[in-house]
Amino acid sequence: MTDKTQSGIFPASAEFVANAHVTAESYASMYADSVKDPDAFWAEHGKRVDWIKPFTKVQNASFAPGNIDIRWFEDGTLNVAANCIDRHLETRGEQTAIIWEPDSPEEQALHITYRELHEQVGKMANVFKGLGVGKGDRVVIYMPMIPEAAYAMLACARIGAIHSIVFAGFSPDALGARVNGCDAKLVITADHAPRGGRATKLKDNVNQALLHETRDVKCLVVKRTGDQIAWRAGVDFWWHEEAAKVSADCPPEEMNAEDPLFILYTSGSTGQPKGVVHSSGGYLVYAAMTHEITFDYHDGDVYWCTADVGWVTGHSYIVYGPLANGATTLMFEGVPTYPDASRFWQVCEKHKVNQFYTAPTALRALMGQGKEFVERCDLSSLKVLGTVGEPINPEAWNWYNDVVGKGERPIVDTWWQTETGGHLMTPLPGAHATKPGAAMKPFFGIEPVVLEPTSGAVLEGNGVEGVLCISSSWPGQMRTVWEDHERFEKTYFSDYKGYYFTGDGCRRDEDGDYWITGRVDDVINVSGHRMGTAEVESALVAHAKVAEAAVVGYPHNIKGQGIYCYVTLMNGEEPSEALRKELRDFVRQEIGPIASPDLIQWAPGLPKTRSGKIMRRILRKIAEDDYGALGDISTLADPTVVEELIDNRMNKD
């Protein structure tokens, strides 16, 4: 072990490799096949799902300017819910599909079999139909982490409705914008969402979000706590009451491979979140395949992804990927530190979890609490550990490896995005020795290229750093931005023509392994949550006392990046601590607690070019406490503002 640590390279044990789906040898040959003849490769792997009408065409994808068109398996038909449930009934009807672990360890966990899942999803699908939802209609899901959230997703898939999940931590305003954005017919929610011993009033948030809605948006409410809520007569319905009235029999709708399965809003570099649209066929093939191979999932394993279904990770790796594979997937309602910092590890012990997948921010928070919380639990069932969401610092990686994995479990650091549907780069646990913080190698069929940021020239060879693009399509790729295909092209295909631009920076090291260096656009990553700085800026300037605002990220011990705001007040307004708090609360209310500013610096002036553009590069450097590297400031309209900002920089300690 000391040897490995010194070299910074961690191979899997011979025992692990012997039983792994993919080894170093098979990776090399499969990867070569996947890029040499992608049609043949994906024609084979397309069989991972059951088709109603088998596809004859595999891929039809163009990244050409003016003609961004991505299709996979385009003449095939299928039903995603039938693939995640019905096809398993014969062989594993009595197997647990979902283990549900509630917020409080005092409350009973649930084990839902594939047969029970089939029944619940069938009922929910019939309730949706009864409420007027049909093929192609949109349903917004605003739910705690309870099994009904998964039922709702699968019920949509069963009848061909398109779901759009809004994270339960988002504010009523953010929810309202998303309900409107996709013209949803129905919102499904719960009365309250217990989390970390506190409860969010989800139904009240829905009421507030729909206050100015002119259409009658119906709302189906799951009773989670039974506490009092305000009811909108005629448009609100209790799930348990409606479920009692319908049959569980709901034949799955035949869907085209390219029919949208879901929309998921995500932040970009502009103020407006984008509705990322995913397909039915290609998405499911890719989610299922990556789930099995990246985590080396074997039949009978218990798999746990700690994400929320409100994020893409919850879509692909709690629900669709695992269930398509007939896996047992664990859904956790709570947080890592409630009732104490042992909670994750207790759940691993209790349910004998084999694959555990979480975010670096959670690991950093737990690392700070000390290893006793881990060591008091029996973690011998663990086989593979995963991380996702942001770059993992070597310290957290080493802690994960040593304290949680006892130096014996491969760690898969999976790099991917809402837009990619599934993992694009990750070590495979039986194939690649890992390096702390490296995403290592492309998944099958993925062709990464590193470009020189300004010229767009392809950087060949090893030991290079630049922006990360992907040169050809893969089945899980997003297909468009909801009702804005132009924005799809502009965001992802216009900076570097002919490539999908990820927005991330990347280094290919001397061994040809990939390291993600973080976003190169105005997107920051706060506790693994993507946040467009422009969104926080528009929230701030919406406040009556704010004239102008600029927001950047800065290094934060636990969150990875914190939110640093430079705020210029309206003439005559005085800065004060009370106003700081007011602005913080205002942003929370506009977007949600995850967007809460960490630091607010009063800025009488912002560094701007003569054409009036804010020079964020400089603001980023000041926030990072890195004045040596400010670069050329001579093009500023008024260079003295920089000095003033440095003098008044917020003390971060």
Which residues of this protein are in contact with ligand 6R9, per CB under 6 A?
266, 311-313, 388-391, 413-418, 439, 502-504, 516, 519, 525, 530
**C-alpha–C-alpha distance, residues 604 and 570, integer Å:** 10
Question: Closest Cα to residue 362, out of 384, 375, 381, 345?
Answer: 345
| Structure tokens given for 421 | 């549907």
Which class for 67: exposed (0-12), middle (13-18), buried (19 or more C-beta within 10 A)? exposed
Smallest gap from Cβ 376 to ligand 6R9, in A, equals 29
Q: Give the nearer residue to ligand 6R9 in terms of CB position, either 252 or 436.
A: 436
Confirm whether residue 88 is marked as ligand binding. Answer: no
- Least distance to ligand 6R9, CB of residue 464, Å: 18
Confirm whether residue 195 is marked as ligand binding: yes
Backbone phi, psi, residue 173, to 5°: -65, -45
CB of 262 to ligand 6R9, least distance (A): 14
CB of 310 to ligand 6R9, least distance (A): 10
Q: For residues 328 and 414, which CB has a smaller minimum distance to ligand 6R9 in the complex?
A: 414
313 is in an annotated binding site: yes
The helix or strand, by DSSP H or E, that contains position 147, with its residue range, turns out to be helix 147-159
Whole-number Å distance between alpha carbons of 50 and 84: 10
607, 636 Cβ separation under 8 angstroms? yes
Q: Binding site annotation covers 532?
A: no
Looking at the Cβ atoms of 443 and 602, the one nearer to ligand 6R9 is: 443
List the one residue out of 352, 294, 317 whose CA is nearest residue 111: 352
Least Å distance, CB 306 to ligand 6R9, is: 13
Q: Residue 267 CB, nearest distance to ligand 6R9 (Å)?
A: 8
CB of 26 to ligand 6R9, least distance (A): 23
Q: State in angstroms the smallest separation of the CB of 79 from ligand 6R9.
A: 26
- Give me the half-sphere count of Cα atoms (radius 13 Å) on the Cβ side of residue 539: 27
Q: Which is nearer to ligand 6R9, 448 or 503 (CB)?
A: 503
Geometric angle at alpha carbon 164, from 52 and 248, rounded to 5°: 50
Task: Say whether 445 counts as a known binding-site residue.
Answer: no
Task: Determine if residue 105 is labeled as part of a ligand binding site.
Answer: no
235 marked as part of a ligand binding site: no
Q: Which is nearer to ligand 6R9, 525 or 601 (CB)?
A: 525
Indicate the helix (H) or strand (E) that contains 82.
Answer: helix 80-84
Q: Select 74 or 390, whichever has its Cβ closest to ligand 6R9.
A: 390
Least distance from ligand 6R9 to the Cβ atom of residue 164, Å = 15
Q: Is 197 annotated as a binding residue?
A: yes
**Residue with smaller CB distance to ligand 6R9, 147 or 391:** 391
By beta-carbon proximity to ligand 6R9, the closer residue of 282 and 505 is 505
Q: How far is the CB of 439 from ligand 6R9 (least distance, A)?
A: 6
In whole angstroms, what is the distance from residue 347 CA to residue 353 CA?
8
Nearer to ligand 6R9, 71 or 315 (CB): 315
| H-run or E-run covering 579 | helix 577-590
Closer CB to ligand 6R9, 220 or 523, in the complex: 523
391: annotated binding-site residue? yes
Our CA dihedral for 462, 465, 468, 473, rounded to 10 degrees, sits at -10
CB of 181 to ligand 6R9, least distance (A): 17
Q: What is the CA radius of gyration of the chain?
A: 24
Judge whether 214 is annotated as a binding position.
no
Question: 567: annotated binding-site residue?
Answer: no
**Which amino acid, one-letter code, is at 253?**
E
Q: Which residue is nearest to ligand 6R9 (CB)?
A: 418
- Nearer to ligand 6R9 among residue 205 and residue 313 (C-beta): 313
Residue 543 marked as a ligand binder: yes
Q: From the CB of 504, what's the least distance to ligand 6R9, in Å?
A: 5
21 annotated ligand-binding residue: no
Q: Are 48 and 289 in contact (CB under 8 A)?
A: yes
d(CA 233, CA 358): 41
Q: What are phi and psi of 276, to 5 degrees?
A: -75, 125
Report the candidate in 57, 61, 54, 62 with the shortest Cα–Cα distance to residue 74. 57
Q: At what angle do helices 114-130 and 147-159 cross, to 10 degrees?
A: 60
Distance (Å, rounded) from C-alpha 264 to C-alpha 374? 34
Q: Which residues contact 429 (CB under 8 A, 6 or more apart)?
A: 12, 16, 20, 294, 295, 296, 384, 410, 412
Smallest distance, ligand 6R9 to C-beta of residue 276, A = 8
Is 414 part of any known ligand binding site?
yes
Buried b (16+ CB within 10 A) or exposed e, 14-33: eebbeebbbbeeebeebbee
Q: Say how far apart CA 643 and CA 501 lie, in whole Å.
A: 35
Rounded Cα gap, residues 111 and 412, in angstroms: 27
212 marked among binding-site residues: no
Q: Which is nearer to ligand 6R9, 104 or 417 (CB)?
A: 417
Nearest CB to ligand 6R9, comparing residues 98 and 439:
439
> Closest by alpha carbon to 618, among 599, 596, 594, 637?
637
CB atoms under 10 Å from CB of 422, counted, come to 31
Residue 23 marked in a binding site:
no
Other Cβ atoms within 10 Å of 543 Cβ, number: 18
486 CB contacts (<8 Å, ≥6 apart)?
A: none
Residue 647 annotated as lining a ligand binding site? no
Going by the annotation, the residues of the binding site are 195-198, 313, 389-391, 413-418, 504, 519, 527, 530, 541, 543, 546, 588
Residues in the annotated binding site for Mg(2+)? 541, 543, 546
Binding residues for ATP: 389-391, 413-418, 504, 519, 530
Q: Which residues are documented as binding site for CoA?
A: 195-198, 313, 527, 588
